[in-house]
Structure 1
Amino acid sequence: MCRWIAYTGEPIYLDRLVTKPDHSLVVQSLNSKMNFTNSGQLLSTNGDGFGIGWYDSRYEPGVFKDDLPAWHNNNLQSLCHQVKAHTFMAHVRATTTGDIQRTNCHPFAYQNWLFQHNGHVSHFSKIRRELQLCIAPELFSELRGSTDSETFFLLALTYGLMEKPKQALQKMVARILESLLKVDKDGVLNLSCAISDGKNLYTLRFSHGEAPMTQFYSTHSACLEDLEAENCQMPTNSTVVVSEPLDTFGDKWTEIANNTFTSIHDSQVEIETFWDG
């Protein structure tokens, strides 16, 4: 399992969320507090690589990824201290599928789109070929790594993510479940995703067969008020979505319900039911 954050709003330096908070994403890479398996085991370490993706004034996002642990990379600290963005996401990886290598680190990018994921699908090795044969021919060459997450992203793009994100993700889930349930009627699919085109931020929280991955959001400027670091207050008209809160979990953080699709634009958060299947 993994940990991630996503932000959209007034431009801020990435370190305000990625490295500065008391329970920042880098801290979570060493000491996650809410990353439980379905059996109740806490996976506190997420050291199988990291990545950040950000939007400033250009159409395509900047991306920096490495297969080193986030806590072990001084370049990440320096970059987050210097880069300012209106929309960005960051991810620390604990692998269940795919080797520890840079091409398997999140977020994944295509043109102006970014995608990151926490979760898994059971029996991926058995359904991988069938799923990847459904990827559009013009997108297949974008497949660089061996994770289920990258396959999910390319399937979503195939099914129209760039035009109708929710419907594309519904088609993606339907296709995955079709293949999975042929192999194992008790198979598991778990998706906590963040997706952006640089103008909108979308998230998905969906699970089939087990408890969902955690996901929270806040639009409150004081959502980081418990922090000791200076200048950590959130700007007004901004939204941050996280796998787990960056300080203490309080009333300034709202848990996003399972089986929901969330759209965020200009600090407006719209949450709707994702799956009726």
Structure 2
Amino acid sequence: MCRWVAYAGEALHPSTLILDTPHSLVAQSLNSPLGKETVNGDGFGIGWYPAGDVPGKAPALFRSVEPAWFDENLSEIARAIETPLFFAHVRAASGPPIQRTNCHPFRHENWLFMHNGALHGFTRMRRELLLLIDPALFPEVRGTTDSEVLFHLALTHGLREDPLAAMSRTLREVERIGDQLGIPHPVQGTFAVTDGTTIWAFRYSSIHDSRTLFYSEDLGTLQQTYPDLDRLRVFTKGARVVVSEPLSDLPGAFIEVPESTVVVVDRTGCRLEPFLR
């Protein structure tokens, strides 16, 4: 449905990952071997926390309905800014209109959210799901995607206090409504959320056959394995990337996230935890 990249580490230019790697996010927008759709040309977005900002400050956001490979502004911005944490996403629309408010990532205060996949039967569930959103948050739902509804449901269920519990309650709520309406296996996808300090990336579907998700190997390990590889030297040892599919063909560089698992990336490192098993 879509492809995305989440990065945390020392500040760098996002172009390092979304433009300059052998299988960059922009390259995936034209040719995605592991995606449901080969081409993801229905818009893109990038959300980033500028280097030096204090924790808790809202991230910057740039979204466009242009194909990522076509938009010169994306190249200019990605090479100009520096950020220690960013989300980037290329979209393949599954039904809702191609408009800027439907492009990921979505933002609320200091939080970002993005999604690859779909809520099956969303048009039938949409009214019930929208009614569950906190009335104070409802005016912020400006687009028509299932992803934006999921984000605001998660905020309603306490995302800011406990992201794991909030995402669990949100996806179970969707499954409950789907069951009431006779919609089997309504949840499909990978989901990423951040508060600007920690990244939580979920791989989950009701049918337990989710879209692909990978995280990068420890940089120290990779640099020891490939000491002469120049492109690894731009990253510090604490850098981590979570992606829909690997950004290169380097053996051992990316590890697949198991089904029904959340990857947590923070200042202590990277860890995997069970999720909705």
Which range, TM-score by smaller chain?
over 0.9
The Cα offsets for residues 162-183 of structure 1, whole Å up to 9 and x where unpaired, read as 0000000011011100111122
The Cα offsets for residues 83-103 of structure 1, whole Å up to 9 and x where unpaired, read as 100000100000113110000
Q: How does 1:33-52 map to 2 (within 5 A)?
A: 33-36=33-36, 43-52=37-46
Q: Is the 8 A contact 1:9 1:267 kept in 2?
A: no
Q: Which moved more, 1:53-62 or 1:182-191?
A: 182-191
Partner of 2:62: 64
Partner of 1:84: 82
- Change in CA separation of 1:79 and 1:267 when aligned onto 2, cut-off 3 Å: farther
Classify the secondary structure of the residue corresponding to 2:175.
helix
Partner of 2:101: 103
State the TM-score, normalizing by the size of structure 2.
0.92
Partner of 2:27: 27
Correspondence for 2:111 among 71, 96, 113: 113
Q: Is the 8 A contact 1:215 1:244 kept in 2?
A: yes
Q: Is the 8 A contact 2:157 2:170 kept in 1?
A: yes
Partner of 2:11: 11
Identity of aligned pairs, percent? 39
The one-letter code matched in structure 1 to 2:267 is D
Partner of 2:121: 123
Partner of 2:48: 54
Q: 1:234 Cα deviation (Å)?
A: 2.4
Q: 1:268 Cα deviation (Å)?
A: 1.2
Q: Which moved more, 1:16-25 or 1:208-217?
A: 208-217
Distance in 1 between residues matched to 2:66 and 2:233, nearest whole Å? 26
- Change in CA separation of 1:255 and 1:230 when aligned onto 2, cut-off 3 Å: closer
The one-letter code matched in structure 2 to 1:253 is F
Q: Which moved more, 1:150-159 or 1:186-195?
A: 186-195
Q: Is the 8 A contact 1:10 1:236 kept in 2?
A: no
Instruction: Give the 4+ runs in structure 1 shifted more than 6 A.
Output: none
Partner of 2:176: 178
Q: Which moved more, 1:228-237 or 1:188-197?
A: 228-237
Classify the secondary structure of the residue corresponding to 2:167.
helix
Gaps of 5+ in 2: none
- The CA RMSD measured in Å over matched residues stands at 2.1
Partner of 1:2: 2
Gaps of 5+ in 1: 37-42
Partner of 1:136: 134
State the TM-score, normalizing by the size of structure 1.
0.92
Q: Which moved more, 1:172-181 or 1:246-255?
A: 246-255
Classify the secondary structure of the residue corresponding to 2:16.
helix
Partner of 2:213: 215
Classify the secondary structure of the residue corresponding to 1:137.
coil
Classify the secondary structure of the residue corresponding to 1:52.
strand
The Cα offsets for residues 137-183 of structure 1, whole Å up to 9 and x where unpaired, read as 00000000000000000000000000000000011011100111122
Q: 1:250 Cα deviation (Å)?
A: 2.4
Partner of 2:260: 259
Aligned residues: 270
Classify the secondary structure of the residue corresponding to 2:137.
helix
- Change in CA separation of 1:231 and 1:263 when aligned onto 2, cut-off 3 Å: closer
